[in-house]
Chain A
Amino acid sequence: MNRYLKLVNFEFNRIAKVYFVLLAILLISQIAGVIFSSKNYLNETNRMIYEELIPKAEYLSRYGPMSMDQVLSSIWFIGPMALCVALVAFYIFLIWYRDWFGKNTFIYRLLMLPTARLNVFLAKITTILLMTFGFVAFQLILYPIESTILKWMVPKEFRVDLSVHELISSSGFLELNIIFPNSIIEFILNYGAGFVAVTILFTAIMFERSYRIKGILLGIGYSILAVIIFFAPIIIQEFLQRYYLYPSEILIVEVAMGIIVTCCSIWVSNYLLKKKIRI
């Protein structure tokens, strides 16, 4: 356990600088976005009401009030979020390959540590999880701050205050529901599915690192197999009798399949790390 924690700490510290810089970009860019969007809205409102002499009520009904919705659709807001997602997606691969292709083959030292090699694998996947949840948490902390800035800048009659859920359901970015689901159960399910996917990817990387060119094919083969096994209950049901299981039963079966696939992936990775990995 102690070894594992040390490794997690070590892995996290290796990306920490980049990570915190990205958090800072998220903070600055989004707050700038709130300020710019509000300024724009206010300038436009002033121009319309004082220069074009449109009555306030008519202006509101024609152009609508200001809300975080308008901020969300600007590149200042959604851009850095996309950057964070991209970083995590990219780092899933880089977290392994940097150890082989870095200045000195660092993997050599990692694998020589007097601890189970699986701990290296688990520490890396924990780091990916920490990064992901860290972004989500940071965004959730940022949102009330941004809302407050909007409140300071735009007077109440020109403004609609939205909670995170209201913002997502009223915006066009319904994909954000995957990142910030409505309930804690959906949160666990979504990120659980993400975890399964990352273990499959890691296993594919292990295949590649063990057998190189041949390993790429093995890795792809393993990934396809894992996905088929994961969706097997649904596929079988399509062929035998549609809608045989109730949705809640499918969910339970799928959770079980997710656990099975994850265990298989970790077991295969463990075997490859122990016996087949090449440095």
Chain B
Amino acid sequence: MNKYWKLIIIGIVIILSIGTFYIKSALTVSKYPEFVIEKQSGDESEVDNVVINGNYYARSTIGESLTLTSNGSKYKSEQSFLKQLDGYGGIASIRQLKEKHRNFMRGKSGSPDHFYEDEHYLVYGEVDYQVNSLSPRDFRFSISVLDKVEDKTNSFEIDVPDVKELDYMNVDDVQMMDGKLKIFTKNVTGGNEAVHLYSLDIASEKIVDHKEVISNEGLLENQSGQIMILSETNPMQKHQNVLFEKSVIEDVEQSEGYYVSEEVSSELVAYNLETDESHPIALPEKIHASEQRTMFDDSTIYFVEESPNDVVVTPYLLNEGIKGEFKFTLRDSKNNDASVEESKTITINNGKVYAVTMMMDAKKAAVLVVGSLKTGKTLYTGEIIPKDPLKDEIDSSLYVTDIQIN
């Protein structure tokens, strides 16, 4: 036995050292502070479905990402390794789809714009193309339809028609109406953007209609057109209208041959899927769409404006015009003013606005407000605070990266 002493020693050292190192680091993970959402006023059930992602920093160098819900906080490193692999964070709605329909979601993109869901169907539509040295080509729609009632999946691919001049295209929204799939795409030709609508018959797996629905016309030589879909509060849900912001960009020559891009005009255009018509929206004077954040859910556009301590939401109903102007104040219990440069993370879901200030540290708490966009009432105010007082107060902080509603 004696002659093995070197082996025995090195074996023991390896097991003890590496063993204790990993046991210790497993224990220190839970040493990060736990955060909670503490109610100040309102109804606690309003935040049951709120998920806040953020990063916790201590001593300004160490960052650890965490998820915060009404049940408390959970750090990324507390998740199992396999769960971390399959996507921690990310978009909540996509993650839920992956959990519910694991096989259907194989190989699908992570963008909610490419999905449509109702009680009966879950539909996915995306454009695949091959990239060669000159330009992308061989554009194909790749479609998957899941019949949730009969639990049947139908996947197919169709060539996109009329793509000769096309530089690039991507899917903006997928809708379903009377058994037909409606795919809105943004097609870019020679630097100009236009929105196209493709109608596909699911049963026969054929494209039955294709037209350009929104485009920029009469552009001058130094101008280019941009069209963006307004972000929807829930892109997967069925809706009658789709909204786009259309703008014209002009290259203005500065001194010495420098060019600067300037937006010369912009307007909102609504496309109605039932009547198959598009019409511009004449916004009242006081709203200038391009300077504010806008969100859209079927019949209402929400214009969101922030100031250091407030969030002001102006709902605009497509057929009725402006309906009120609602102001929600975010102020922590110590009544600190937010700094001017500090922005908020805001989302709108189901006629409610959710806003959270982005930073929490020893001096001030992050504030969460839930407000109704029908009545303008503040439904809930709360603060994100550490469950137990922080040890290294001065240097610790929590940054909110996004807020999602499940």
Question: Which residues of chain A have a CB within 8 Å of any CB of chain B?
Answer: 5, 8-9, 12-13, 16, 130, 133-134, 136-138, 140-141, 160, 162-166, 169-170, 182-187, 241-248, 251
Chain A interface, DSSP helix/strand/loop, else mixed:
helix
In the complex, A62 Cα to B388 Cα: how many Å? 32
Of B13, B28, B82, B87, the contact of A141 (CB 8 Å cutoff): B13
**New A-B pairs, 5, CB < 8 Å, besides A137-B16, A243-B106:** A140-B18, A141-B17, A163-B28, A169-B63, A251-B82
Which of B3-11, B46-54, B262-270 contacts the other chain?
A: B3-11
Of B16, B28, B86, B106, the contact of A244 (CB 8 Å cutoff): B106
Please give, as numbers and ranges, the residues of chain B lying within 8 Å of A140 by CB-CB distance.
17-18, 21
Given contacts A9-B3, A130-B10, contact A251 B22 (CB under 8 A): no
Please give, as numbers and ranges, the residues of chain B lying within 8 Å of A138 by CB-CB distance.
13, 17
B13 to A, closest residue via Cβ? A137
Of A133, A244, A251, the contact of B85 (CB 8 Å cutoff): A251
Please give, as numbers and ranges, the residues of chain B lying within 8 Å of A141 by CB-CB distance.
13, 17
Please give, as numbers and ranges, the residues of chain A lying within 8 Å of B10 by CB-CB distance.
12, 130, 134
Please give, as numbers and ranges, the residues of chain A lying within 8 Å of B133 by CB-CB distance.
none
In the complex, A247 Cα to B84 Cα: how many Å? 10
Question: Count of chain B residues with Cβ under 8 Å from any Cβ of A?
Answer: 32
Nearest-neighbour CB distance to chain A for B25, whole angstroms, equals 6
Chain B interface, DSSP helix/strand/loop, else mixed:
helix
B62 interface residue (CB < 8 Å to A): yes
Given contacts A130-B10, A137-B18, A140-B17, contact A169 B62 (CB under 8 A): yes
Q: Are B61 and A170 in contact (CB under 8 A)?
A: yes
B6 to A, closest residue via Cβ? A16
Q: Type the 1/0 row for B64-108, where 1 means its CB is closer than 8 Å to any CB of A.
A: 000000000000010001110111000000000010001000111
Given contacts A130-B14, A163-B28, A184-B22, contact A243 B107 (CB under 8 A): yes
Q: Are A183 and B85 in contact (CB under 8 A)?
A: no
Question: Which residues of chain B have a CB within 8 Å of any CB of chain A?
Answer: 3-4, 6-7, 10-11, 13-14, 16-18, 21-22, 25-26, 28, 59, 61-63, 77, 81-83, 85-87, 98, 102, 106-108
Please give, as numbers and ranges, the residues of chain A lying within 8 Å of B108 by CB-CB distance.
243
In the complex, A182 Cα to B79 Cα: how many Å? 13
A69 to B, closest residue via Cβ? B61
Q: Are A247 and B86 in contact (CB under 8 A)?
A: yes
Nearest-neighbour CB distance to chain B for A53, whole angstroms, equals 25
Please give, as numbers and ranges, the residues of chain B lying within 8 Å of A137 by CB-CB distance.
13-14, 16-18
A246 to B, closest residue via Cβ? B86
Q: Are B81 and A185 in contact (CB under 8 A)?
A: yes
In the complex, A13 Cα to B102 Cα: how many Å? 53
In the complex, A243 Cα to B86 Cα: how many Å? 11
In the complex, A230 Cα to B286 Cα: how many Å? 63
Q: Are A184 and B26 in contact (CB under 8 A)?
A: yes
Q: Are A160 and B59 in contact (CB under 8 A)?
A: yes
Please give, as numbers and ranges, the residues of chain A lying within 8 Å of B61 by CB-CB distance.
160, 162, 166, 169-170
Given contacts A141-B13, A164-B21, A186-B81, contact A12 B106 (CB under 8 A): no
Q: Are A248 and B82 in contact (CB under 8 A)?
A: yes
Q: Which of B21, B82, B87 has the most CB of A within 10 A?
A: B21
User: Which 7 A/B pairs are nearest by Cβ-Cβ distance?
Assistant: A137-B17, A247-B85, A170-B61, A184-B22, A248-B82, A137-B14, A133-B14
A160 to B, closest residue via Cβ? B59
Please give, as numbers and ranges, the residues of chain B lying within 8 Å of A247 by CB-CB distance.
85-87
B58 to A, closest residue via Cβ? A166
Nearest-neighbour CB distance to chain B for A204, whole angstroms, equals 27
